[in-house]
A and B are shown apart, each in its own frame.
Chain A
């Protein structure tokens, strides 16, 4: 079974709709991240959480919110989706006890906003 899972894997929605993307992990890591991937731009950090009570904005947090429901679960919400939020979204985890910040990625959610 995958260590980092994301649901849904694909989603098509309309402008103005509220969308939630979910991420779960079985790695026991304390840190979790949400990124979006756009062609030619690599991955950009939306939000990150170092534990259940520690949530921080990344470089492109506008239009997004997150919830860390438990150590193993980190969800990303688009309160009112817009077309330029069409992208591939990745969740990742890391262990604060590791000597370097290796992150482990989920398979991604492809979101299309019409």
Chain B
């Protein structure tokens, strides 16, 4: 079945540091890939997406590139801020799978210190 694996946290960084969160996936079909972010006390929000190989999703200074050859979708930001402290979830949606559901990774908590 489909699965998503992402690095465990917590990841603690200083402001303006470079952030990378690794994400790899397995899927039976040709999935769309997503990063969702959950700020403290809130629900999940879509951060960025990519729907085909080599697509780069970007939003709020975050980027991730759909790498089909390595089945990866790593999230990066060049200079984090305290407001980026949140839990980040990598997810996939495989249209070949029954129900076209989202499959999530376990989440990575990021804490940015001033």
Contact = CB atoms under 8 A, between A and B. Distances in A.
The DSSP consensus for interface residues of chain A is strand
Contacts of B36: 105
B44 A102 contact: no
Contact of A101 (B4, B32, B42, B45): B32
B104 interface: yes
Nearest to A102: B46
A105 B43 contact: yes
Contacts of B105: 42
User: Which among A56, A104, A105 has the highest number of chain B CB atoms within 10 Å?
Assistant: A105
A88 to B, nearest CB: 9
Interface residues of B, number: 23
Nearest to A104: B46
B49 interface: yes
B11 to A, nearest CB: 14
Contacts of A41: 106
B89 interface: yes
A76 to B, nearest CB: 15
Given A105-B44, A107-B43, A45 B51 contact: no
B47 to A, nearest CB: 11
Interface residues of A, number: 24
A103 interface: yes
Contacts of A103: 46, 102
A44 B36 CA distance: 14
A33 B101 contact: yes
A28 B102 CA distance: 19
A97 interface: no
Contacts of B100: 101
Interface in B82-102: 89, 93, 95, 99-102
B86 to A, nearest CB: 14
15 contacts: A4-B43, A42-B4, A42-B106, A43-B44, A44-B104, A48-B99, A90-B44, A92-B102, A100-B51, A100-B93, A102-B49, A103-B102, A105-B36, A105-B43, A107-B43
